[in-house]
Structure 1
Amino acid sequence: MADTETETVLPSEPQSRHVVYCGVCSLPPEYCEFGGTVKKCQDWLQKNHADMYDRLWSEDALAAATSTLSLDAQKRAEKDAHKKALKAEAAEQKHLQQIAESKVTIKRVERNKRKFVTTVTGLEAFGLENKKVAKDLGKKFATGASVTKVPSGGEEIVVQGDVSEEIEEFLLEKYKVIPEDNIELVEDKKKKGAGAGG
């Protein structure tokens, strides 16, 4: 009789859990240290989930985690943590430098008499997906927009119509990760008489 009573006390359906995912590296905060952006992750966690930050990264939590280690292991852990921090900082500096040097090129290309397409290249350097941006551009300008491969090995977005200045405004408004100085407008005119043989 006792066995049947305990069975009825248990919940009949599994209970769901609320899991917090880091806004920087998208891992659960307990695993951010393996993501390579520890400092940014810690700042995000402290701002958005202060109680969880205190539980994971406060001085007391860190001291408790290392207290069970031997002195040699504690020294190694400190050394490893320092190396990881330096490595993450160097990677972040390299990424910021790459972004500063990268250019988004918006080119107006003449196809036939008074027919134009606009191409956009260089978005990958800013962590943007060409297919997603092409879809956004197609919706915004109610026109065809596709991603094509270029001979140099990269990809470009081809948008039907002469919308180069509008695309620049749209990119600056929607994708704040692109600095205004890193956008370059180019006009590519078709050479006259190139098709004539003489």
Structure 2
Amino acid sequence: MASQTSPSTIAYCEVCTLPYEYCEFGPSAELCKKNCRENHPGLYERYYGALEEAKEEDPAALAADEAKLKGKGGGGKKGKKEQDMRVYIKRSERNRRKCVTTVCNLQTYDVELKKAAKLFANRFACGSSVSKNPQGIDDIVVQGDVSDELLQLITSTWKNVPEKMIELVEEKKKKK
């Protein structure tokens, strides 16, 4: 008879919301390292080792990471890096009954946009392409109102994109 194993749990960083093993690739590596050392010493030992503990931290780099997360405005605003990690699924009306769904910032999670656009086109039987938005950043444009299905497809296909970092936005045309 086969032995049963208990399911493994993944610990997520409270600073960058990535799993601890990916914190070094996140927006605030030094801040994540400090948080891991304080809150999860066992994980810190596993991912950073005893050599990192002996090395002194650079206070200037730590202060720079904190400033990035807080943003220049301070207060309760989100930092620019944390805000850039969000994936936006925008549904906008083109004509009276026609809709276009745009997926923004998916490349921040190392998703190849052309492959994702092709997957969306095949899955939803519609047109899908990669285009630049007015800020010069690549977005995926999908024809039709598929925002809810896109949310499910993104979270099931790419496990490194957390569902809480995806935001659904509905844009309406202004009436003249």
With the length of structure 1 as denominator, give the TM-score of the two structures. 0.48
Distance in 2 separating the partners of 1:147 and 1:154: 10
Aligned partners of 1:177 and 1:99: how far apart in 2? 16
The residue aligned with 1:74 is none
SS at match of 2:121: helix
What's the counterpart of residue 144 of structure 1? 127
Question: Match of 2:118?
Answer: 135
Name stretches of at least 5 consecutive residues in structure 2 with no aligned partner: 1-21, 23-50, 56-60, 70-80
**How far, CA to CA, are the matches of 1:100 and 1:126 in structure 2?**
13
CA displacement, residues 30-71 of structure 1 (integer Å, 9 cap, x when unaligned) = xxxxxxx9xxxxxxxxxxxxxxxxxxxxxxxxxxxxxxxxxx
Determine the structure 2 residue equivalent to 1:119: 102
TM superposition shift of 1:129: 1.2
Read off the aligned partner of 1:161 and give its amino acid letter. Answer: G
Aligned residues: 103
CA positional deviation for 1:153: 1.5
Letter in 2 for 1:182: M
What is the rounded CA distance, in whole Å, between the counterparts of 1:157 and 1:137 in structure 2?
9
Q: What is the rounded CA distance, in whole Å, between the counterparts of 2:105 and 2:84 in structure 1?
A: 11
Please give the alpha-carbon distance, in whole angstroms, between the structure 1 residues aligned to 2:102 and 2:160: 20
Identity %: 48
Match among 165, 168, 173 for residue 151 of structure 2:
168
The 3-state SS of whatever aligns with 1:118 is strand
1:186 counterpart = 2:174: no
In the alignment, is the contact (CA less than 8 A) between 2:93 and 2:99 conserved in 1? yes
**Distance in 1 of aligned mates of 2:146 and 2:99:** 9
Contact 1:99 1:126 in 2 (8 A): no
One of 87, 111, 114 as aligned partner of 1:104:
87
2:99/2:143 contact within 8 Å kept: yes
Secondary structure of 1:148's aligned partner: strand
Name the SS for the 2:145 alignment partner. coil
State TM-score, norm by structure 2: 0.53
Aligned pairs (5 A) from 1:9-158: 102-158=85-141
Aligned equivalents of 2:168 and 2:83: distance in 1? 17
The residue number in structure 2 matching 1:6 is none
